């Protein structure tokens, strides 16, 4: 499996580290905003090609698939370009930053038949997989999810503390993780509400947001998001169910009493990004729809579009 990666920033390198652990995968091309960064990352991971233009990778006969870790605003158009060039594509979350663009990506996937997977990593974290397996086995049902997504990002910087060329977004990026996960664990979302705090004078985005969701099963979810939080950073999930309470922190899981639950045997790795990439590669090799395909996560973007309309109306 010969792969090109576009967007060699902090998250791009997480994918490259995961791909190194998958048998039969070759990293062929690295695309980044500057030629110097692209060449440096290509040398680090043994890629034979580097460029600042995605089109250069798409023109190569030795590229089977592309992973996009580029700015959110480019995701939909680049995913479409990859599929039209005959390449399978995994696009990092979010699929798009509008409902219309999300629909366009699904349409092209259906037209081309290429694998198009979206990086909804929570589906792959061993912690959330453990809960999902209990749900599928009929041993646990979600009654409520309480989720906190907290960062301290009053300036445009990435996870490495480096300047970003684009502006992140609480709704279309960070809320997408929880909206999709809640539906994955509790059923289709039938009701959604959102309110947002003040707009940042320089970044032009809301720095705080609150979202309420209800699924067809009757379960509810409360999601709090902030770029203003000067404290523990990340996303923390509390599952309150009919038989247990679980708290998930990325790949780790504890019960309601903060007792550790061993999830080391849930999958072949404890790294959610690596497991996500393994699913992408396997789906291409097996000619099947991957978990977190554009079709499977599509309804998440319907909900985000509805929430965006609510917020625009005040």
Output the pTM of the full model.
0.94
Q: Where are the domains of the chain?
A: 2-121+273-293, 122-267+300-312
Between the CA of residue 226 and those of 40, 93, 142, 169, 207, what are the distances in Å? 34, 18, 25, 10, 6
> What is the number of residues in the chain?
314
Q: pLDDT digit of tens for each residue in the chain (314 aa)? A: 999 999 998 899 999 999 999 999 999 999 999 999 999 999 999 999 999 999 999 999 999 999 999 999 999 999 999 999 999 999 999 999 999 999 999 999 999 999 999 999 999 999 999 999 999 999 999 999 999 999 887 666 655 666 666 567 899 999 999 999 999 999 999 999 999 999 888 888 899 999 999 999 999 999 999 999 998 888 999 999 999 999 999 889 999 999 999 999 999 999 999 999 999 999 999 999 999 999 999 999 999 999 999 999 97
DSSP string, 51-74: ES-HHHHHT-TT--EEEE-S-GGG
What pLDDT was estimated at residue 23? 97
Report domain 2-121+273-293's class.
Answer: alpha beta
What pLDDT was estimated at residue 233? 84
**Element (DSSP H or E) covering residue 104:** helix 99-112
What pLDDT was estimated at residue 201? 86
Neighbours of 297 (CB within 10 A): 25
Fold of the domain built from segment(s) 122-267+300-312:
Dihydrodipicolinate Reductase; domain 2 (3.30.360)
């Amino acid at each position: 499996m010969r792969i090109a990666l576009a967007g060699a920033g902090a998250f791009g390198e997480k994918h490259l580290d995961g791909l190194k652990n998958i048998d039969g995968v070759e990293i062929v091309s690295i695309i980044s905003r500057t030629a110097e960064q692209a060449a440096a990352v290509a040398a680090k991971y043994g890629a034979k090609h580097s460029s600042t233009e995605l089109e250069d990778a798409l023109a190569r006969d030795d590229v089977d698939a592309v992973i996009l870790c580029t700015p959110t605003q480019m995701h939909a158009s680049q995913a479409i370009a990859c599929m039209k060039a005959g390449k399978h594509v995994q696009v990092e979350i979010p699929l798009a930053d509008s409902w219309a663009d999300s629909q366009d990506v699904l349409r092209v996937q259906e037209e081309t038949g290429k694998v198009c997977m979206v990086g909804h990593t929570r589906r792959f974290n061993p912690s959330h997989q453990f809960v999902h397996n209990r749900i599928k086995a009929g041993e646990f049902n979600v009654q409520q999810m309480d989720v906190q997504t907290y960062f301290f990002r009053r300036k445009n910087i990435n996870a490495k503390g480096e300047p970003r060329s684009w502006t992140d977004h609480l709704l279309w990026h960070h809320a997408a993780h929880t909206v999709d996960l809640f539906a994955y664990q509790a059923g289709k979302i039938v009701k959604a509400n959102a309110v947002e705090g003040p707009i940042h004078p320089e970044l032009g985005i809301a720095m705080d947001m609150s979202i309420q969701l209800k699924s067809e099963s009757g379960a509810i979810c409360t999601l709090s998001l902030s770029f203003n939080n000067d404290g523990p950073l990340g996303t923390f999930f509390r599952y309150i169910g009919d038989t247990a309470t679980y708290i998930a922190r990325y790949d780790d899981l504890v019960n309601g009493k903060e007792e550790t639950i061993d999830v080391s045997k849930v999958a072949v790795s404890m790294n959610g990004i690596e497991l996500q990439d393994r699913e992408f590669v396997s789906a291409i090799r097996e000619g099947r729809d991957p978990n977190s395909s554009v079709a499977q996560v599509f309804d998440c973007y319907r909900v985000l579009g509805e929430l965006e309309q609510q917020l625009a109306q005040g």
